[in-house]
Structure 1
Amino acid sequence: MQQTFSARETDFWRQYGITPDILKTYKVFSLKEFRSENSEGKPFCFQSLDAEPIFAYTSKRHVKIYRPFSEIRFLYGGLLPDNYCFGLEQLPAKGDTLFITGGEKDVLSLVSHGFHAICFNSETSNIPQHIIKKLSYRFKHILLLYDTDKTGLESSLKHVQQLSDSGVKRLVLPLAGTKQEKDISDYFKAGNTRENFMQLFIEFLDNLYSDTMAILKPCEIDFGNPPMKSEMLISINDVPLGTQGNLLGITGGEGTGKSNYVGSLIAGTIRQTDKIDMLGTTILPDTANKAVLLYDTEQSEVQLYKNISGILKRGKLNA
């Protein structure tokens, strides 16, 4: 039986930054009482008290009862699906980062601070790989954000290994792992802000991708020290075909003269006089006497010798 959130119940959620609007969006209600039957078919009833409130995470076909201050904290009603996932239907079509937490309250805490989050039934529950695979196409980063107690750390490590193909990582909060200080809700309750958590996340990404960034560092463009303009090496009628530092590919069907054309380019490079036939191509000569390498993996040794002899003859050089 639903009831309006009392001031005390509202304060309970607000200490984690969770607002009434968030509770409404995620279909979280306050219950006056909860009636059901146990596994033996015997009826039972729990009534809400000031010291022991009852909250319900509801869906169309099931309800998960949360009693934060009671000995029996969680109860279930209806048909709880095997792939229970709280917060899945509220996710956007695309996003930057998705956190997988250990419980519903942690999801609500993260959402209230501007992050996307979901959770499964518990930290030890199986995480369906097909769900994570689909989510990996929608989010750039998927991170496990479990409790920092023994169970949470062991479970997150196991899930990271199982979900490695989908690129799932884990972020460990700087918390003691005690009953009062172990999850993201406790983190925000302690006074940490969205900016504090963002800084923690950015530092995590810096450490995660430090090796990659080191490899990419030489590829950065230094606008204070612009690169030298590439020298034109091969051209036709002043139209550049090949420039320094780049690759030039020549394609054509079988028997169209690719080898002969490449031979003319090589001859033009190693020539000692401008009076040679370069088939209409302007080629910058190798005045620095650098090595010119020819790899031809399609010709026989006899044909390769013949081709190289022709190149040297065209370039006015002796073998």
Structure 2
Amino acid sequence: MLAKYDFPELTRRVILAAAAALLVAPLALAQTDPLPSWNDTAPKAAIVAFVEKVTKESSPEFVPAPERIAVFDNDGTLWAEHPMYVQLAFALDRVKALAPEHPEWKDTQPFKAVLEGDMKTLAAAGQKGLLELIMGTHAGMTTDEFHKIASEWIATARDPRFKKPYTELVYQPMVELLAYLRANGFKTYIVSGGGIELMRPWTEKIYGIPPEQVIGSSIKTEFRMQDDTPTLYRLPEVNFIDDKAGKPVAINQYIGRRPIAAFGNSDGDLEMLQWTTMAGAPARFGMLIHHTDAEREYAYDRDTEFGRLDKALDAAAITGWIVVDMKADWKQIFREK
């Protein structure tokens, strides 16, 4: 004998259960923390508040998606820049690899200092010396050849302290921030003093930022036909230095929109943050990453050759830029594999 069921009542229960499930799912998603590597301190709250007010259509500070541009420095903001810039580490390795083809380097500075491991003399050569190293090691080849060399180096080179690939020393909190912004309709760009061709081979895989959204320093190139093949040949001449006042110039030239959010860590980012935030409406956001964690990474600001944070740190107190204390505000420093 078949059991008797109250089908109207059963149907009602099924409908209510399904409705409850539909309500619970969005709630669970809404409660998922998009920035799990950030401690629940003021910087995280400021990020979330800014994103909410520029993305909510009912907000008086709503910003349409095409105008949601966020720019990020790379060295010291997205990945480690100590004990030296990765660009410099690459140049040093290139000097050693090319030395057999250039016997004159044994008696020519700053190449002589590199080959002898004389970092004091190399440091004294300053930016001029670094440019000489780059011109001597990054030019004289096609862009495709350089791309191959840079890709192979970044895949095999190791940081001297952590003994890991440099691409594993990217900051997990910042990787989460990039993803969070993109999930909320932002377009994210790198605006770095580092070489554009050294960054482009790997930024999409590591940061989710494609090559066309990477802006950096560059050397001149010219079109050449080589064995009936069209190429771009790298010349030993500076094309553009994407640092300090050069950053707003590059943003205007390559992006064509003033960003509404900018993230940096040093005086090299001062003008980029000024250009982004000191322009009135709509809502704008500036953030500095302050390296304060000597145990998990490094602690430095005003007294360092790499990533000096001095004028920009003073400006933050006046402009209202958020300053991230890495030791206090980040649960985790480096990216998870």
TM-score bracket for this pair, using the shorter chain length: under 0.3
TM-score (norm 2): 0.25
Greater fraction of residues in strand: 1
More helix per residue: 1 or 2? 2
Q: How does the TM-score come out when normalised to structure 1?
A: 0.26
Structure exhibiting the larger radius of gyration computed from Cα positions = 1
